[in-house]
Structure 1
Amino acid sequence: MGQGNWREGLTRKHWQILLGSFLGWVFDGYEAFALIVVIPFLLKSLLPAALLPAGPLYAGSVIGITLLGWGIGGLVGGILADYVGRRQVMLWSVFLYALFSGLTAFVHNFYQLDALRLLTGLAMGSEWATGVSLVAETWPNRARPIGAGFLQSGFGWGTLLAAAVWYVLSITQPLAAESWRLMFVLGAIPAVFVLYLRRNLDESQKWKEAILAKRWGATGGVASSQNKRPFTLFQLFREKEALRRTIITFLLSLATTTGWWAVSSLLPRYTVFLAKTAGMGQLAQWGALSGLLYTLGAVVAYLLAGFVIDGIGRRRFLFGTYLGCLVITWVSYGVVRNPYYLLWLTPINGFFTLGCAYVWMAIYPPELFATSVRATAASVIFNGARIIAWVFPVIAGSLIQSFGSLSIAALTISTIYLLGLFLPWLLPETTHQELPE
């Protein structure tokens, strides 16, 4: 398959589906990274002075509860998408997380913050699996990996947008110490996007056909003679091959999710720490610039990934990704002590730990599972990992408290990337193959 003709056969409808899924993921990326960059200022605003020394623990808890909501909501939303359709679930997901994100701007204490972050996570979790399933099931086989890579780049563009907005707010300080609230006010904008989704997104034809034909097998196969449909979540664990694929991809997703939320999310704070140690000024801008460079690296990875993964294969891509995550994390936190050098490494860090480490989930799992369970499988792999990984930001905060060292906490947790060095070889290679029906 030559990459020169990957656009052949793509229609306006294909691009509308990609755009709708892409924009939904942009808003998710904005929402996730907005929380990370404002946490130091949010804590100062909401916590009593006596509790500020325990800031890392509170920061870990608010990130963790967002992850927990994201995981539960994504799991439920993925299952619903296999029963009621991809489009309907996406509409409600975008509207509700925009609503709860906007309300976050008006919290007055930490309990209100935690409650709204849980609700935002519950709503936000459903969007990804529906978008990935829509693109996978509507785009031609030769263009599917590139389209999925573009879709996943939405998260990078969203984090980049959040980093850029926060960089401007950190300089202008329109609401002084309360400027962090504006980040969540902007997070309510996606509610308007629902109007676009309603007009321009069609339901997946492959999903409709699979349901009508009663193709219930989790990894493909002939139509079933049974009228009663098996519960999609049980299907992933009832069939031997589906179970094997689910466990392996879930563990790889867990490595990615834990690494990003409990390690890479510390990078702006670590940059600020090194800058402060070196006697630099304007510390907020150091953190904001770190976030900006990190997300730039991720966006580059997203845009290139579809071409690279088709060129070298899924398993080699995964191996190279997790090796890169491990090396760049150890260099960033274990070797570098100069904030300028760390900034130079930050785009490379983003390329691997956010870009490559997440983009494979938009490309590979849809190729491993059949249409009637595809959204459920994608949610178990992508969002289910958050139900476990949510504790790791809390653990990271506890380690920082215990050791008094952010770098030790990051290096300790980053060993989870070792899973990615051997697990990919246990999966089937699906490069250039049609989706299982």
Structure 2
Amino acid sequence: MASLESARSTRAADRASASGATAGIDKGSISARLDRLPATRAIWKLVLLLSLGFFFELYDLLYTGYVAPGLVKSGILTPTTPGLFGTSGIAGFIAALFSGLFVGTIACGFLADRFGRRAIFTWSMLWYVAANTVMVFQDGAAGLNFWRFVSGMGIGVELVTIGTYLSELAPRHLRGRAFAVCQTIGFTAVPIVAYLSYLLVPNAPYGLDGWRWVVLLGGVSALFVWYFRRNLPESPRWLAGQGRLDEADAVLSRLEATVERQYGRALPAPGPADPVTQKSGFADMWKPPYRKRTIMLVLFHIFQTIGFFGFANWVPTLLVKQGVTVTSSLLYTTVIGLAAPLGPLLGYAIADRFERKHVIVCMAAVNIVAGLLFSQVRSAGAIVTLGVVLTLAANIISFSYHTYQQELYPTAIRARAVGFVYSWSRLSAVFSSFVIAFTLREFGVTGVFVFIAGAMSLVIVAIGLMGPRTLGKSLESISH
């Protein structure tokens, strides 16, 4: 019996040594062990898998603007509507998507906190792929908008889950770069969907409207769902937060063993464990230090959406309004779309060197200047050049705030808190799409970009005055 106990003690000591734990397993030690991991292939593989999921998500999210001319051409939608909130136009289609995103983020963001990052990542993807497939076969505005709403719910949940998942798996020294890589891969969906739209939307291959082909091709993501699920571990931080410390230790130990083999030497010792928020609920978002952060992010999301989607979803229609043909506008936007993944790729160089808030403020200022100039030019070269600048600025903002907002809340409420603040961007997009349609009709393209410039000015004020610093800090230390 003594020898059996001795063997058990030896095995336990070996496990503790392999994992780097020095004082038993608790929530703080799990986080400290994660944060000390070097950037080996095993870590980047996790980033890649989540990035591929983000690619398909952005494909489904951003095809809206590119298929809009095709929906008008087919007679299902109209470019503008007689009333401010008419549902028969492009604005109604955009509003349906963002209404679904709003419900998905504000009402369903808690799902990843309750059931885990891995499960919700998988099932929300299946949800929106199925809804988009049904939407393809709609011939009226009502059916089209309803299924776009249902699809938006799944995309909304997925957006929150991927950001939460990635922030918890990436060690703190490469969190910004991990988001930059994720967004670089994700935003390659933009030139791809733009090019497919250029090829397909003006035509009807095999008698099926081109816009329907663009939507159907996005459904290929369903083929990858189970592959993603099989190769992604659950977040050790989430498991530890649920009190499932043995499972968290087992998942992390397997990852540590793989990383150590690739690293070629013993892993560095974990740093001191920062205090972990033990229990949080929705009400904690409105208590210090989170209250100020919540207010800041709500204001930020209300106005940043106008700048991002005001250009991304409307650029083909804006160009047509300026007298450019449908085919030429789609060609221009295809070229502009090539810049989409370059924004976060350029941001990779600064992601973990400069404060996120400072990057957001600077790029918002670039957006204002480039947008106002874009509204005044007519030559193809100027349109493409300024379109590229707008795309780069917007996507650097995007990867920066996706990293930033995930850092500002504790693990226990990260998904639901980010879902809540993020949902305001969806609600903003619902109403701003109608306002942009109205502004386009009454004040032209210049009026639209003046409206966008005002919104981005408020982004600068909110983030610049209220945003805390997070660079190089652990998630746990930022939460206190």
Quickly name the TM-score band, shorter chain normalised.
Answer: 0.7 to 0.9
Paired AA for residue 433 in structure 2: P
Q: Which runs of 5+ in 1 are unaligned?
A: 1-5, 215-219, 277-282
Matched, 1:45 2:74: yes
2:419 aligned residue (368, 379, 384): 379
Q: Which runs of 5+ in 2 are unaligned?
A: 1-34, 246-273
1:300 aligned residue (325, 329, 342): 342
Matched, 1:430 2:470: yes
1:287 aligned residue (329, 332, 341): 329
Q: CA deviation at 1:123?
A: 0.9
Which deviates further from its counterpart, 65-74 or 378-387?
378-387
Distance 1:256 1:374, change over 3 A: same
CA deviations over 1:264-292 (Å, ceiling 9, x no partner):
4222222334353xxxxxx2332222322
Q: CA deviation at 1:171?
A: 6.6
Which deviates further from its counterpart, 117-126 or 22-31?
22-31
Matched, 1:206 2:237: yes
Matched, 1:321 2:352: no
Counting only pairs closer than 5 Å after superposition, residues 347-358 of structure 1 correspond to structure 2 as 347-353=388-394, 355-358=395-398
RMSD (CA atoms): 2.6
For normalisation by structure 2, the TM-score amounts to 0.79
Contact 1:137 1:206 in 2 (8 A): yes
Counting only pairs closer than 5 Å after superposition, residues 25-174 of structure 1 correspond to structure 2 as 25-47=54-76, 54=81, 58-170=89-201, 173-174=204-205
Q: CA deviation at 1:52?
A: 6.6
Q: CA deviation at 1:114?
A: 0.7
Identity among equivalent positions (%) equals 22
| 3-state SS in 1 of match to 2:173 | coil
Counting only pairs closer than 5 Å after superposition, residues 156-195 of structure 1 correspond to structure 2 as 156-170=187-201, 173-175=204-206, 178-195=209-226
CA distance in 2, matches of 1:53, 1:429: 43
Which deviates further from its counterpart, 291-300 or 366-375?
291-300
CA distance in 2, matches of 1:188, 1:23: 13
Q: CA deviation at 1:26?
A: 0.8
Contact 1:137 1:204 in 2 (8 A): yes
1:241 is aligned to: 289
CA deviations over 1:397-423 (Å, ceiling 9, x no partner):
1222334x2331332243100023222
Paired AA for residue 253 in structure 1: H
Q: CA deviation at 1:108?
A: 1.3
1:17 aligned residue (46, 61, 85): 46
Paired AA for residue 60 in structure 2: E
Paired AA for residue 295 in structure 1: G
| 3-state SS in 1 of match to 2:338 | helix
Q: CA deviation at 1:120?
A: 0.5
Q: CA deviation at 1:306?
A: 3.5
Q: How many residues align?
A: 410
Counting only pairs closer than 5 Å after superposition, residues 257-296 of structure 1 correspond to structure 2 as 257-276=305-324, 283-296=325-338
Q: CA deviation at 1:222?
A: 4.8
Paired AA for residue 235 in structure 1: D
1:393 is aligned to: 433
CA distance in 1, matches of 2:311, 2:228: 35
Which deviates further from its counterpart, 172-181 or 16-25?
172-181
1:343 aligned residue (373, 384, 403): 384
Q: CA deviation at 1:230?
A: 5.0
Which deviates further from its counterpart, 161-170 or 205-214?
205-214
Bigger Rg over Cα: 2
For normalisation by structure 1, the TM-score amounts to 0.86
Q: CA deviation at 1:81?
A: 0.6
2:374 aligned residue (332, 336, 352): 332
